[in-house]
Amino acid sequence: MNTAPLLIEIGVEEIPAGVAPRMGEALEQALTSLFTNNHIETSFLNLGVTPRRLLIHADMCPLMQADRQQILWGPPEKVAFRDGEPTKAAQGFAKKSGLAVEDFELADKGDGKARYMKAVQTIRGRDVCSIIAEAMPSILRGLPSPKQMRWQDGATRNDAFIRPIRWMVARLGNNLIPFSFAGIASGLQSRGHRMCADGLGEISVNKPFVWLQERMVIANRDMRKTKILKDLLNAANDAGVSLVEDADLIEEVTDLTEWPHVITGHYDEDFLRLPIEVSRIELKHHQRCFSTHDGQGNPSHVFFAVANIKSKNPAAVAEGNERVVNARLADATFFYDRDPKTSLEARVETLSSIVFQDGLGMVGDQVGRLRGFMLDNAKALGIDADEGQRAAYLCKSDLTTGLVGEFPELQGYMGGIYAQMNGESDAVSQAIAEHYMPASADDGLPESGIARGIGVIERSDKLLGYFHLGRIPTASADPFGLRRAALGLIRLLVDDQHPIQMTVAEILEDSAKQWNQQRVTIAISDDTHAAVLHFIRDRLLGLATLLGVSISALDAALSAAQDLPLYQHLAVARLLTGFADSEDGQAVAAANKRIANILKKSGQVSESIDVDLFEKAAEQRLFEALQSLKKDFPSEPKEQLEALATLREPVDSFFDDVMVMADDEQVKANRLALLAQLRSLFLQLADVSKL
């Protein structure tokens, strides 16, 4: 089979950080599916991703599809032929297949039931260039991106894309793969780095990554990332400092550069008196620069920037970065010195002028709800009520400070520092500093129990408020971060190292009470409460694998008759995950499914049992085993599960020997009552019928 290298490259204006890798992976997956569905066997697809290009290369791709045979089965013999002559059904099927009736034979499909019309049709392979060309426009339209643009610099620019497309390369060996998208026709010419003088030219179809690297583009993202990290560590070693690890920033600068080069800078040492996070946040979020510390772990005034080109005058580049960083840190220092002159307590009143959300009142209203919840539930949260309400009262005050206004990423952190300056207790200061945690899926949990309590009420408060407004997340949009709020709430509640003794329903109920008692904005309805509870449960089931349990086990635990704190439900789910795979577990689960179905179809069932109505020994044995277990039922989930597993034998015997739906109505009702008591006992632990 004739083969040739395949190269597809989409050249664009700079794609935002974090987006290009997802688009590149989607392009690779789409082409892989295209080749698989069309029986085109290629070598490994190499993916290249930079801010300005998405590239796919394969060393070997066939020029033509291989011919293949397809078996066509028609109607059975008795339908296809009558008196030895083909019927209209046979003629119609043959015509539809593009064949004559004579091209078919009668053959058995292998089941021995009948013979059917059968033909072996040869499907001629197509030109692979044509297959790819036909598919590429729709593939490009389907690549995922947060927003798409249309640009009006030509009559044919109708397609939307993440950024304006500037060139496209598509070739199979020496053959052009001809297609157009967004007003650009595919061609053979690519472009190197913007600053490369000879960057425009016909890219090598055999070694495109080498061709690009010669023009100052490292197209392999992993290689670019590795180089950045290595250069940063070398620069830190040369400067006698240690790099502050920041995986997110490494990923970001990887997606912002094609030819990365590390620049060493220094800011004014006077700014070292700022809290460490202030300089780190300024360097990271505003300049995409890396912080450092000295050998003792103290902040260092050395920082590193990652430029997109190796400058002929790196000192000038460093000086430019230093000038901007020093100016920003000077602003931070001004606010840091001024903000503490007004205490956090004095700032609380100002929160009543800051909008929480249109339709949901002010931040001051929110603080009142947080404070009320902490006072009402201090015991269940395991905290001191006075310190809890004090932290809740002050936790949003730093929103009114100049430093947080300038650097919003410092919310909470600066509140904790200012609280210490104001003479608040260590517990209150720590709670304020940590109450936004976890801010992301991989963020740590707060150490402070008070911070955990504030985090729980703040997230439930937000969910209830936004659901009340109908701002419920859709499959493609969650502009208010409600999924993140639910996941953060779940992470706080499943932690058994610092257990919160409240169920999700209790938390939402008390949170709704705080809304309804204020009577200044909205009233939370029962329907809103139920919708939020369902939303949280769905998110929890989606996290099952990450929590180390099966979805069915977690669903079973959550369906117990008694609602428990989440960490306790999770402990039961862990027990059930292992139990479900055992022989006893499978038998018990099957029996419970059967019992649940029987009771569901039977409607209202009494749990009153009359032993005089027993007709079979199996009924008596199951009743006695059940009564014995109910009399001394353990309190710990592990022992409960072990005890329930002992019912397997009497339950199996019951179903082997007893007809539940007896003709005698009294006997039937008695047997249903026995099953109802049995299911009720299981439900004290979990609904194992869901396993």
Burial of 95 (0-12, 13-18, 19+ CB in 10 A): exposed
The pair of structure tokens assigned to 139 is: 């593939």
Pick the CATH number of 573-690 from 3.40.50.10420, 1.10.730.10, 1.10.20.140, 1.20.58.340: 1.10.730.10
**pLDDT band for position 554 (cuts 50, 70, 90):** very high
Q: What's the rounded Cα separation, in Å, for the pair 349 and 358?
A: 19
Mean pLDDT calculated for residue range 473-498 = 92
Does 155 score more than 70 pLDDT?
A: no
Q: What's the rounded Cα separation, in Å, for the pair 562 and 683?
A: 8
Stronger pLDDT, 307 or 122, i.e. the higher one: 307
Does 509 score more than 90 pLDDT?
A: yes
What are the pLDDT digits (tens) for 557-592?
999 999 999 999 999 999 999 888 888 888 888 888
The pair of structure tokens assigned to 1 is: 């089979």
The pair of structure tokens assigned to 479 is: 């502009």
What are the pLDDT digits (tens) for 238-278?
999 999 989 999 999 999 999 999 999 999 999 999 998 99
Q: What's the rounded Cα separation, in Å, for the pair 107 and 91?
A: 17
Across all residues in the chain, what is the average pLDDT?
A: 92
Contact 75, 116 (CB under 8 A): yes
Q: Return the domain boundaries, the chain.
A: 3-65+127-213, 68-123, 221-340, 345-543, 573-690
What is the structure's pLDDT at 1?
61
What are the pLDDT digits (tens) for 13-72?
999 999 999 999 999 999 999 999 998 999 999 999 999 999 999 999 999 988 887 888
Q: What's the rounded Cα separation, in Å, for the pair 171 and 151?
A: 26
Report H helices in 582-647. Answer: 583-602, 617-631, 637-645
- Contacts of residue 418, Cβ cutoff 8 Å, sequence gap at least 6: 339, 340, 344, 397, 398, 401
Q: What's the rounded Cα separation, in Å, for the pair 395 and 416?
A: 8
Q: What's the rounded Cα separation, in Å, for the pair 228 and 251?
A: 10
Query: Is-cis flag, bond preceding 438, omega within 30?
Result: yes
Contact 27, 56 (CB under 8 A): yes
**What's the first-to-final CA gap in the chain, in angstroms?**
52
Does 323 score more than 70 pLDDT?
A: yes
**pLDDT band for position 608 (cuts 50, 70, 90):** confident
**pLDDT band for position 12 (cuts 50, 70, 90):** very high
Contact 183, 157 (CB under 8 A): yes
**pLDDT band for position 441 (cuts 50, 70, 90):** confident
Q: What's the rounded Cα separation, in Å, for the pair 283 and 412?
A: 19
Judge if pTM exceeds 0.95: no
What is the structure's pLDDT at 156?
62
Contact 580, 641 (CB under 8 A): no
**pLDDT band for position 145 (cuts 50, 70, 90):** confident
What is the structure's pLDDT at 97?
84
Mean pLDDT calculated for residue range 419-439 = 96
Residue 410: CA count within 13 A, CB half-sphere:
31
Does 510 score more than 70 pLDDT?
A: yes
Percent of the chain clearing pLDDT 70 (strictly above)? 99
What are the pLDDT digits (tens) for 87-112?
999 989 988 888 888 888 898 887 77
Does 396 score more than 90 pLDDT?
A: yes
What are the pLDDT digits (tens) for 191-234?
999 998 788 999 999 999 999 999 999 999 999 999 999 999 99
Q: What's the rounded Cα separation, in Å, for the pair 659 and 400?
A: 73
What is the structure's pLDDT at 32?
96
> Domain 3-65+127-213 class?
alpha beta
Q: What's the rounded Cα separation, in Å, for the pair 690 and 557?
A: 9
What is the structure's pLDDT at 380?
93
Does 113 score more than 90 pLDDT?
A: no
Mean pLDDT calculated for residue range 164-180 = 95
Q: What's the rounded Cα separation, in Å, for the pair 468 and 360?
A: 9
